[in-house]
Structure 1
């Protein structure tokens, strides 16, 4: 068995990175919104917000991979053109999240040329789902095609996601929001697990192990919509990933309180260190089931 330690002093945020760059007609992806009118959120907004904040952002996952000096590989990425006129709104929402994770990976490696196709596809999906109006496309386009200001990119992207998420809840389409979050999470886990098969690193494996906690939260959200047949399929598949995590053990060690400045005010925060205990066999099980399920969904 191996024990991996990771400091949890940083903020985890769910980032959706969108742009209007290289637009293609969105009429080809028009959807009937009647199939998503049953998506009223049954858990509190506070709980939903907390779950969103605890999902590692695409930029954060990519930043960790990049910091390990691991070479860039297009083989990890989904096909941005793998879209169909018969694709449902549920599949679009999930795919939008997955492509956002890939876009974070591309930007971290400064692959701005390749990013254009992802930006275009994400824009088409957002327009088809009638949420494209909630994004500052001009600003995000400028930031997403350069690597000079990732902090601003993260801030604006999170703000855009929050606006979209709020609108989907108001219009009783929070099931689509849940699937976008699930798409971000699964693609991020896939990137991390695929890299881990070629490059052993304790920080990376620790992050993979800690996704056990996030997965429990995702299933809590998805189970709100278990009466929708297509979402029940997502739940079944994510339960299979959860089973692979059964033998992962996570404990926490409380550290010394730290004083930080936020918005001009001093705040005392409690530092915490997580300890992830996971065998090589368990890690391989997670890698295998994640790859199988992710590849199934990316062949829409």
Structure 2
């Protein structure tokens, strides 16, 4: 049985930004009620990039291990922004591996997530024992295994959110969304997807607005503000896609992929 521990201690983080001597945490409970409701709504409206990855696999796309973020970078992340964002990145990579049934290194990626969570003092939000058992078990359905894996991370984000650290949840989700979009748009560069996959990719672009709004709620928390301002650079490319039809997606995908790649580099480079 899964056990998740709720903890409510308020933490301050050391900040690596040159113009900040400390990071100011904004507890969830201190937000106005309407903002808390908005935050949850934006989070719920973000389309799961995992579904797009499943469609790509079923569409005949081949697993590319070179797209994964290197776990050798994990010890380079020393502040809360880097650590939270890259928990999201490694979580998306882990699901990518799971969906394509490439399980050789899945525990290595899980360990990277655990290490970053430990540094953020949120390790108790993750059911390490259950996740380890899940990854080691030979579950015949990759969809079922991916669903179970997703449930673990959703529960963890709920625990982090309930412990007055929703700003960390926002950064984890942002990192995961970027990595998921990076993986799918990278695969699509090799061969243009069929109409069904292209339509899903088009709809996936709309989730950008929810991620942006979610980060904006925590602009008073310096790490979220930095990421929010970086996310704004993607807005023109997203607008070009979302204000036109799915049939024109191919025309804009190259520039969109380029900005996603730049955003990912911002996230994974310490």
Inter-partner Cα distance in structure 2 for 1:86 and 1:211: 28
Query: How far off its partner does 1:279 sit?
Result: 4.2
**What are the superposed Cα offsets for residues 224-278 of structure 1, whole Å, 9 maximum, x if unpaired?**
1223333222112211112101122469xxxxxxxxxxxxxxxxxxxxxxx6343
Q: Call closer, same or farther: CA 1:164–1:32 in 2, change over 3 Å.
A: farther
Q: CA deviation at 1:157?
A: 4.0
Mean CA deviation greater in 125-134 or 188-197: 125-134
Select 1:198's aligned residue among 190, 194, 198. Answer: 190
Is 1:129 the counterpart of 2:120? The answer is: yes
- Paired residue for 2:164? 172
TM-score by length of 2: 0.79
Bigger fraction of residues in strand = 1
**Distance 1:197-1:158 versus aligned 2 partners, 3 A rule:** closer
Q: For structure 1, which runs of at least 5 residues remain unmatched after alignment? A: 1-30, 252-274
* Greater per-residue helix proportion: 2
Separation of aligned partners in 1, 2:90 and 2:154: 18
In structure 2, list runs of 5 or more residues that go unmatched.
Answer: 1-12, 16-21
The two structures, once aligned, show a CA RMSD in angstroms of 2.7
- CA gap 1:147/1:57 in 2 versus in 1, 3 angstroms: farther
Name the counterpart of 1:233.
226
Task: Give the TM-score normalised by structure 1.
Answer: 0.72
Q: Secondary structure at the match of 2:246?
A: strand
Contact 1:186 1:290 in 2 (8 A): yes
Alpha-carbon distance in 2 for matches of 1:277, 1:221: 29
Tell me, what secondary structure is at the counterpart of 1:69?
coil
Q: Distance in 1 between matches of 2:44 and 2:61?
A: 27
Find out whether 1:284 has 2:254 as its counterpart: yes
C-alpha deviations, 1:14-44, integer Å up to 9, x for none?
Answer: xxxxxxxxxxxxxxxxx65973522435554
Change in Cα spacing, 1:72 to 1:166, as seen in structure 2 (3 Å) is closer
Q: C-alpha separation between the residues in 1 aligned to 2:202 and 2:71?
A: 28
